[in-house]
């Protein structure tokens, strides 16, 4: 039997912490770190929280012996990109979520402490759900996420040794909110490809090829590629504000194809105009093994 980690399938939470960690020079996973990874789900459940720990391609072999998830690889470097998609020096992702930020803080703090001989944090962001699920651009994010019954097929590896696991990509985006807010709503809608207030997709005639939706909706063999997004807005008043993007999928290919269409011109010369108002400042690619696989680390 395989059970996905608790942070993958449930609907959005009010709060999340996203922590990227990298291996300390010359260090290998130690007993305390193994115990932390193996016990994370139990500790989260005891606090009524959800979460995921996921491991990147370079470090996976240090944690799990034997065959690796077949598609696990580094964050993509997209040829011909005209917008930045930086790759972070990160080996492990902690994505904890729930309704109580104080509990998430305590759990994350204890984890980072337990992992400290092996890993050091390189990015640490607390995201929060805004009214109606609107992100800092004012648009509702997550509308086209798969429904609950479709989520396992979209987000989880179905078969084989790593069944119940999920390929994760994260990117921290910083918005240029001053210029975004100067843009009339009609033009903002053309950038996203949906209406702002009523959250409806624009008609094909009104939706530019440069709209975010036009870039990320990709049809292959008559079916739209699908991913499960758990992105959340984050920021400090008057400081950096943006979106912490996080996608979960049964294959890394979906994110790679969508990102390529966002940042690298297609044959028509188009890219995603959302990136005129938002830039990526971090990026990571990870695999979240099933709870049973994590338990073997104890």
In whole angstroms, the minimum distance from the beta carbon of 231 to ligand HEM comes to 7
Q: How many helices (H) and strands (E) are present in the chain, helices listed first?
A: 9, 11
Only one of the segments 86-94, 101-109, 176-184, 251-259 lies at the binding site for ligand HEM (rule: CB under 6 A); that segment is 251-259
170 contributes a contact to ligand HEM by CB under 6 A: no
The closest alpha carbon to 247, from 163, 110, 151, 162, belongs to 151
By CB under 6 A, residue 216 contacts ligand HEM: yes
Answer whether 54's CB lies under 8 Å from 95's CB: yes
Tell me if residue 141 is catalytic: yes
Q: How far is the CB of 43 from ligand HEM (least distance, A)?
A: 30
Binding of residue 70 to ligand HEM (CB under 6 A):
no
x/- contact string, 120-149, with ligand HEM (CB under 6 A)? ---------------x-x-xxxxxx-----
User: For the chain, how big is the Rg over CA atoms in Å?
Assistant: 19
Residue 245 makes contact with ligand HEM by CB under 6 A: yes
Which of 48/206 has CB closer to ligand HEM? Answer: 206
Tokens of 233: 């807005």
The one catalytic residue in 48, 106, 117, 141 is 141
Say whether residue 97 binds ligand HEM (CB under 6 A).
no
x-or-dash string of contact with ligand HEM, 12-51, rule CB under 6 A:
----------------------------------------
Burial of 187 (0-12, 13-18, 19+ CB in 10 A): exposed
Q: Residue 98: name the closest of 6, 3, 235 by CA.
A: 6
Contact range with ligand HEM by CB under 6 A, out of 31-39, 104-112, 149-157, 255-263 = 255-263
223 in helix, strand or coil? strand
The Cα 88–Cα 71 span in angstroms is 19
DSSP class of residue 204? T
Asked whether position 227 contacts ligand HEM by CB under 6 A, the answer is: yes
Q: Which 175-214 positions form the footprint of ligand HEM (CB under 6 A)?
A: 192, 194, 212-213
For the beta carbon of residue 117, count every other beta carbon within 10 angstroms. Answer: 15
Sole residue written with tokens 């696991």: 165
Q: Is 203 exposed, middle or buried (0-12, 13-18, 19+ CB in 10 A)?
A: exposed
Catalytic positions: 141
Residues that bind ligand HEM (CB under 6 A): 135, 137, 139-144, 171, 173, 192, 194, 212-213, 216-217, 227, 243, 245, 255, 258-259, 274, 278
């Amino acid at each position: 039997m395989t059970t996905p980690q608790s942070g993958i399938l449930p609907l959005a939470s009010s709060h999340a912490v996203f922590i990227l960690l990298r291996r300390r020079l010359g260090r290998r996973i130690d007993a305390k770190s193994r115990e932390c990874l193996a016990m994370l789900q139990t500790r989260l459940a005891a606090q009524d929280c959800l979460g995921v720990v996921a491991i990147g391609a370079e470090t996976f072999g240090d944690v799990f012996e034997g065959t690796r998830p077949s598609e696990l690889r580094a964050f993509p470097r997209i040829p011909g990109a005209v917008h930045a998609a930086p790759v972070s020096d990160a080996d492990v992702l902690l994505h904890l979520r729930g309704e109580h930020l104080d509990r998430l803080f305590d759990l994350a703090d204890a984890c980072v402490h337990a992992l400290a001989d092996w890993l050091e944090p390189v990015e640490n962001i607390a995201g929060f759900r805004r009214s109606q699920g609107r992100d800092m651009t004012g648009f509702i994010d997550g509308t086209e996420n798969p429904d609950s019954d479709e989520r396992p097929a979209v987000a989880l590896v179905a078969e084989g040794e790593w069944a119940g696991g999920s390929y994760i990509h994260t990117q921290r985006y910083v918005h240029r909110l001053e210029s975004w807010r100067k843009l009339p709503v009609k033009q903002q809608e053309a950038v996203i490809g949906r209406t702002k207030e009523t959250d409806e997709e624009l008609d094909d005639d009104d939706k530019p090829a440069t709209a975010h939706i036009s870039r990320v909706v990709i049809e292959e063999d008559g079916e739209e590629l699908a991913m499960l997004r758990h992105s959340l807005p984050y920021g400090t008043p008057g400081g950096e504000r943006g979106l912490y993007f996080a996608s979960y999928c049964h294959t890394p290919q979906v994110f790679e194809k969508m990102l390529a269409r966002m940042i690298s011109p297609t044959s028509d010369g188009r890219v995603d105009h959302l990136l005129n108002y938002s830039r990526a400042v971090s990026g990571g690619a990870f695999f979240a093994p099933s709870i049973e696989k994590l338990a073997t680390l104890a």
